[in-house]
Amino acid sequence: MRHSRTAACATSLLLASACLFAAPTSAQGAPMTPAVGYVALGDSYSSGAGAGDYLPGPKGCKRSNRAYPVLWASAHGTTSFAFPACNGAGTKDVLSGQLGPLGPRTRLVTLTVGGSDSGFASVMAICDLGGTSRCLSTVARARSKVDGTLVRNLDRLYSAIRDRAPAAHVVVLGYPHLYHLHGSCEVGLQDRARAAVNDGVDHLDTVIARRAAAHGFTFADVRGTFAGHEICSRSPWMHGIDVLAPTESYHPTAPGQSHGYLPALARVS
């Protein structure tokens, strides 16, 4: 769904604040930039990879004019907005390169992060190519990584965000199920593998939600808003595998951002 007036307004806001995220800054020892009212951190699900209409800036970050942070900022008339979220970012990338715009005057911070830390891209590559048995074992290994390394990295990142933005309302958004089971897909993963991937997402969201709560942050669950719109549903808001545009694969479409992520954020902000 296209919102030309919203997109134009959002683009103006982003270009006006481009200096805030044109170059990554380190979380420690970096020069302080003026604090921004709303800062959108995170990975590809926050940057809008898969939604199209990409903004000027680092091409690999795939920051979309249709991403939920841009839509929220425009809908609320936000004039102080920074959008350092970047495709492929893990917790360490956010910690070292995205926290520069945070400060005592920051009032809202949103982020999705954790999928890259769990090895999401390699999990899906193996599941697509390696068959059901390898998919199940790969998902199991990813769950172990979530329980170990990711927990520690989330705690480190969440503490840094709170230290840099002590007055901010921090909303951590989760990830949707990828697959609609017993759906319309006639090729690709078997339903047993699809169910395992969805269970892996459930585990990831549970860990993220617990660590967010431990730091006093709000967790926004998007699985409900995406229900019935996963891959293999009649009206998917997620891209399936696309060999011609691999970074679009398994990411929300523009409707996924506007009808899946944006309402989940609006309910808690």
The enclosing domain of 86 has a CATH number of: 3.40.50.1110
Task: Please indicate whether residue 44 is annotated as part of the active site.
Answer: yes
Residue 97 falls inside a structural domain: yes
pLDDT value of residue 5: 37
Q: How many domains does the chain have?
A: 1
pLDDT value of residue 268: 96
Give yes or no for residue 8 having a pLDDT over 70: no
Helix (H, G, I), strand (E, B) or coil at 27: coil
What band does 34 get if pLDDT is binned at 50, 70 and 90? low
Residue 167 falls inside a structural domain: yes
pLDDT value of residue 186: 78
Question: The tokens of 131 are what?
Answer: 């068959």
Give yes or no for residue 98 having a pLDDT over 60: yes
Residue 151 falls inside a structural domain: no
Residue 133 falls inside a structural domain: no
Question: Catalytic: which of 177, 180, 239, 251?
Answer: 251
Question: Catalytic: which of 17, 44, 74, 258?
Answer: 44
Q: What gap in Å lies between CA 55 and CA 253, rounded to an integer?
A: 16
Question: What percentage of the chain has pLDDT greater than the value 90?
Answer: 77
Q: Provide the whole-model pTM.
A: 0.86
Task: Please indicate whether residue 177 is annotated as part of the active site.
Answer: no
Residue 241 falls inside a structural domain: yes
What band does 188 get if pLDDT is binned at 50, 70 and 90? confident
Residue 215 falls inside a structural domain: yes
pLDDT value of residue 13: 36
Structural domain boundaries enclosing 80: 4-117+160-184+208-268
β pairing state of 108-112 and 169-173: parallel
CB-count exposure of residue 166 (10 Å: 0-12, 13-18, 19+): exposed
CA 218 and chain centroid, separation: 15
Residue 214 falls inside a structural domain: yes
Q: What are phi and psi of 202, to 5 degrees?
A: -60, -45
Q: Mean pLDDT throughout 258-268?
A: 98
pLDDT value of residue 184: 87
User: Quick one: which of 25, 64, 14 has its CA closest to 247?
Assistant: 64
What band does 191 get if pLDDT is binned at 50, 70 and 90? very high
β pairing state of 81-82 and 218-220: unpaired
Residue 130 falls inside a structural domain: no
Q: What gap in Å lies between CA 58 and CA 60, rounded to an integer?
A: 6
